[in-house]
Structure 1
């Protein structure tokens, strides 16, 4: 904690801060190249004449970090990213080695439990993972279905709900607590493909249930995570149906690459939700809702699920390679948005982009080249040579994997689902780690973000007849354009109709 400095003592692992408002000096410990934000609460001063009471100056100094650009909210051993050097490691293993030699399920085990599994452990994990919803509209967005389905799934497992079983359900650290936690992890990872496949089949207007009744999704003859997913989506009763091994391998690699990426918006949402000790199904549903977005608004790292979709729509808008120069000039004038380049973390090329390029080549040999590929490559080649983009360090990122998804025949609105299915693994790894951090006391460090109030101070209520009219673009509701029944009702006459 921050404390007045000892003028006689020296400590290299400290930060000395002088508060010029009071003349006091404070020493703040440095641990693992980090200082505790709460240590600054000891640095307080009296309110100055005329200063706003809402600043709460006597209560200690606050730390402002809009967008969490330099704030570490947890200590994690899961994923390491060096954006300056273009490095991504899962539990210490370079992503390039895992993509070449591992599988998605094996990497899932690594992320959640900290080590690569022995053969016996891997077989058991695969077995556990292996071991409803007709009411959605046919035109519902698949990501909306997946989000709802995870939340809906939680209602079936009261054993996983701390609200029903006690708030220390997952935070005791004993064998029973661990076993219950792992059971939910197996279920969520295993059902992620089933729910996503059902969302796809609803989206395609296909039967969700087996024609003979019974199981909602056909039994699959393989333990490969990606192969099972393809089988569940596409098998319509054909005998001895086997997905393409090339597409199976490509999808498994993409799942592995997207399994985790530190505390991006969706992962932070899961941890924020989970810190209130809600059941993991609700926390995962919250992560899906965050991933559903087309932009990562303010948090730490990574790209949201809708970004892949945005790249394809951009390429469709460009149309052909000869239109690329004009498009890039429009980007420079800020008339258009360049998707698929740049990253909040990586200041050089995203290390996953090289793996995706090789994977794309393998897929295109099987499916034929996507008609947008030439446009994408022309855009890539022009952007990396243009000084405007080079100076801004806008290198290609992983969002061009949308070209692979498109070549594999997935509709655009299914791209976020293809992002969410593997990212469930990372969410659960961080959720499990957060639960472990509460052992052995079972206390929940519920995320409560500090704030500082700007603008109006205290104001007294004024009766409606005495208030001044405040007008302006942000100061009052804008007119709503009515159509259909609401428009006809506005134009109709009836008793009690407002005259405003």
Structure 2
């Protein structure tokens, strides 16, 4: 733990206690409130933990006021424009960007581990054909621990790293096969000549009938999407991974817990909500009326894909995603797809409307990623699984950091507002 730089005094009744103030590399200082309970008998009440630093981490930093997102100190804009997802995965796991030899070795490890145990194929047959891909992903990732028993030994450094590499390598295969299964199509195995993002596309869209032609513009867009979603500080799913990991659970079980948390529409389903909103608008001429409903607080209509809980100005990932979106649409020659035209018109109007400008409701990363996925013919049921493919690298890096640091089982307390002490009476005497 970082050493305190100062302290603040808190008094309750006749008792006082000095609470240490800890300073991080960047961001707000943190007050260590341990003594509130032991010395004063008080607990910190913070619903949703929005004002609580639950851990110490060196992985990701967000400054919502400045629209800043850093992975290990590197701005997201630089990584998305200049790095590959494999480089970013190495960075999140190992704290530094790889050199040429480290990159080659890490890439080969990921490719080698991208194959699934053949018995895992049988798992898919146990799911209904109309099962949601997130259900398949959540169950299958959790089941990996049944095949890799050494993952249970989280005290071994080599075992932790091997589990991390296996997870990052195998989750695109599981997600792609979940998609193929729901489509009733043949599973495609990863190929050594393809990059991480290229293999994801290949396994989702290739068939045994004919050679698959890789589109480099599309592959680069997918790579950017994965980079932009790789980690995002202590969000709901990452906190879930850390919470599960604090018990000493194996890493595959912890990541499965993170996938379950991501599945919630308030977390990982935002880009899917964008397309549902566009479907509800229907036509470009309906946009002005829709915008007026959004401005009406009593309408209950929300503008999905605009604004962000953390970023108070603009989402730094959005501009990169916007460029990738237009690159993909231009590459695919999509100029008359009604839903995409609708999205572009909505973007234009919202960016010019004083109501949204004053409230800093700019398009966020989810607005554009959903459009890219729709342009590629990816169904909305696969949006969150692809989010999970990206975020798995951040999850396993956060898990690894926690295990290698000060691991303490998480045990939040509560503000109890239920009945006070009372005693049992026989049922025959109750009114």
Task: Give the drift of 1:203.
Answer: 1.2
1:307 aligns with 2:270: yes
Residue 321 of structure 1, CA deviation: 2.3
Matched, 1:122 2:103: yes
**Per-residue deviation, 1:328:** 2.5
Distance of aligned partners of 1:27 and 1:183 in 2 relative to their CA distance in 1, 3 Å threshold: same
Contact 1:320 1:374 in 2 (8 A): no
- Report the TM-score when normalising by structure 1: 0.78
Match of 1:246 in 2: 217
Query: Which of 293, 311, 330 lines up with 1:330 in the alignment?
Result: 293
Aligned to 1:460: 423
Among 15, 22, 27, the residue aligned to 2:18: 27
Normalised by the size of structure 2, how large is the TM-score? 0.90
Contact between 1:347 and 1:395, CA under 8 Å: does it hold in 2?
Answer: no
Counterparts of 1:148 and 1:313 in 2: how far apart (Å)? Answer: 26
**Cα contact 2:127–2:136 (8 A) shared by 1:** yes
- Report if the CA contact (8 A) 1:126-1:223 is conserved: no
Q: 2:380 matched to which residue of 1?
A: 412
| Larger deviation, residues 265-274 vs 128-137 | 128-137
**Equivalent in the alignment of 1:182:** 161
User: Where does the alignment leave 5 or more consecutive residues of structure 2 unmatched?
Assistant: 24-28, 113-120
1:111 pairs, out of 86, 92, 108, with: 92
Alignment of 1:420-459 (within 5 A): 420-438=388-406, 444-459=407-422
> What's 2:250 paired with?
279
Q: 1:256-405 counterparts in 2 under 5 A?
A: 256-295=227-266, 304-331=267-294, 332=296, 333-367=298-332, 368-369=334-335, 370-400=337-367, 401-405=369-373
Select the residue among 14, 18, 25 that pairs with 2:7: 14
User: Is the 8 Å Cα contact of residues 19 and 33 (structure 2) preserved in structure 1?
Assistant: no
Cα displacement (A) at 1:373: 2.7
Asked if 1 retains the 8 angstrom alpha-carbon contact of 2:154 and 2:250, the reply is: no
Q: Distance in 2 between matches of 1:354 and 1:88?
A: 13
Distance verdict in 2 for CA 1:170–1:386, change over 3 Å: same
1:308–1:17 CA distance, 2 compared to 1 (3 A):
same
* Residues 48-98 of structure 1: per-residue CA shift (max 9 Å, x gap): xxxxxxxxxxxx111111111111111111011110111111101111111
2:78 aligned residue: 97
Aligned to 2:140: 149
Shift in CA distance, 329/43, structure 1 to aligned 2, threshold 3 Å: farther
- Alpha-carbon distance in 1 for matches of 2:277, 2:310: 22
Instruction: Tell me the alpha carbon deviations over residues 181-223 of structure 1, each in whole angstroms, 9 at most, x when there is no partner.
Output: 1111111111111101110100111123xxxxxxxx4241424
Partner residue of 2:178 out of 193, 199, 220 = 199
Is 1:138 the counterpart of 2:129 in the alignment?
yes
Task: Please give the secondary structure, in 1, of the residue aligned with 2:80.
Answer: helix
| TM-superposed deviation, 1:435 | 0.9
Runs of 4+ in 1 over 6 A off after TM superposition: none
Structure 2 counterpart SS, 1:129: helix
Deviation at 1:392, TM superposition (A): 4.1
Task: Tell me the CA shift for residue 305 of structure 1.
Answer: 2.0
SS in 2 for 1:421: helix
- Distance (whole Å) between structure 1 residues aligned to residue 199 and residue 258 of structure 2: 23
Query: What corresponds to 1:255 in structure 2?
Result: 226
- Aligned pair in 2 of structure 1 residues 381, 365: CA closer, same or farther (>3 Å)? closer
Measured in 1, the distance between the counterparts of 2:274 and 2:33 equals 38
Q: Which runs of 5+ in 1 are unaligned?
A: 1-10, 45-59, 162-168, 172-176, 209-216, 296-303, 439-443, 469-500
- In structure 1, how many angstroms separate the alpha carbons of the residues matched to 2:57 and 2:387? 22
Question: How far apart are residue 329 of structure 1 and its match?
Answer: 2.6
User: 1:467/1:182 Cα in 2 relative to 1: closer, same or farther (>3 Å)?
Assistant: same
Asked if structure 1 preserves the Cα contact closer than 8 Å seen for 2:5 and 2:20, the reply is: no
* Alignment CA distance shift 1:12-1:200 (3 Å): closer
Paired residue secondary structure (2:18): strand
Larger Rg: 1
CA distance in 2 between partners of 1:73 and 1:263 (Å): 8
